[in-house]
Amino acid sequence: MLASGLAVSALASSAGAESPPNAEVKGPGADWVEIALVPDEPHVSLYAKEPRKVIVGDEVRDSWAFVCDAPCGVRVDPRHAYRVTGDGLVPSIEFNLAPGAGRVALRVHPAHTGTHTIGAVLAATGALVAFAGVLLFLVDAVEHGAGDALGSQSATAQSDLYGSASTYGNIGIGLVATGAVLGATSLIFLLSGKTGLTPTDMPRPKAVADRTDGVHMIPLGFAF
């Protein structure tokens, strides 16, 4: 009985000493990069792209995992792609970090979702205005055709038709030009509507920033 009890105890001790295959969590590697965000306004966060995809309605989209809120100051895996976004903001472009870069600081220039809305409204308005201009060009052509058909039978009526045709044509030119301007403006809003990122100096800790003895922190460098 004693030998049997010892055997059972030994087996239980051995089983408890073994870790599940996936229990070990991989810690930061030597090539991980410390990243800091310096936003122009609060409520900005860093996200990492995940391998899995998500389905939203009929679309398959990338999955993004939350990493940290600005100013961050955490070490991240350079093998992932990252982006910066927040509530009511248009996400930044995806970016990668150079392995072993040490420290990276990015100044964030948030772009709000309203910017895309303005761009879409301008594009739609420009298209409608240009379409109205094209219709007036057609009216101009019809009026000129009617005037040509009269010939010299009624000089007064022919002159009136030519005059109204010219008016329609001039208005059509103005509308098409206005539509083109609105379309170009909408492109500016749509293409520049992403949250911007630019490399900057690493922010100093508050304790150091409050000192007046002239001691400053020098960043080790950054890669973007």
Per-residue pLDDT of the chain (224 residues; tens, 9 = 90+): 434 443 433 333 444 444 344 333 356 778 899 999 998 888 899 999 998 888 877 888 889 999 999 999 999 999 999 999 988 888 888 999 999 888 999 998 887 766 667 778 888 888 998 898 888 888 888 877 777 777 666 777 767 777 887 888 888 888 889 988 888 887 776 666 678 888 888 776 654 444 444 444 444 444 45
Token pair belonging to 182: 């609105």
Q: Are 98 and 223 in contact (CB under 8 A)?
A: yes
- The count of other CB atoms within 10 Å of the CB of residue 36 is 22
Which pLDDT score is estimated for 192? Answer: 63
Which pLDDT score is estimated for 222? Answer: 47
Instruction: Say how far apart CA 11 and CA 9 lie, in whole Å.
Output: 5
Q: Are 102 and 220 in contact (CB under 8 A)?
A: yes
Which pLDDT score is estimated for 114? Answer: 65
Instruction: Say how far apart CA 224 and CA 147 lie, in whole Å.
Output: 66
Which pLDDT score is estimated for 151? Answer: 66
Which pLDDT score is estimated for 97? Answer: 92
Listed by start position, the domains of the chain span 33-111+195-206, 114-191
Instruction: Say how far apart CA 33 and CA 100 lie, in whole Å.
Output: 6
Which pLDDT score is estimated for 87? Answer: 84
Contacts of 135 (CB under 8 A, 6+ apart): 172
Instruction: Say how far apart CA 71 and CA 44 lie, in whole Å.
Output: 8
- The count of other CB atoms within 10 Å of the CB of residue 25 is 5
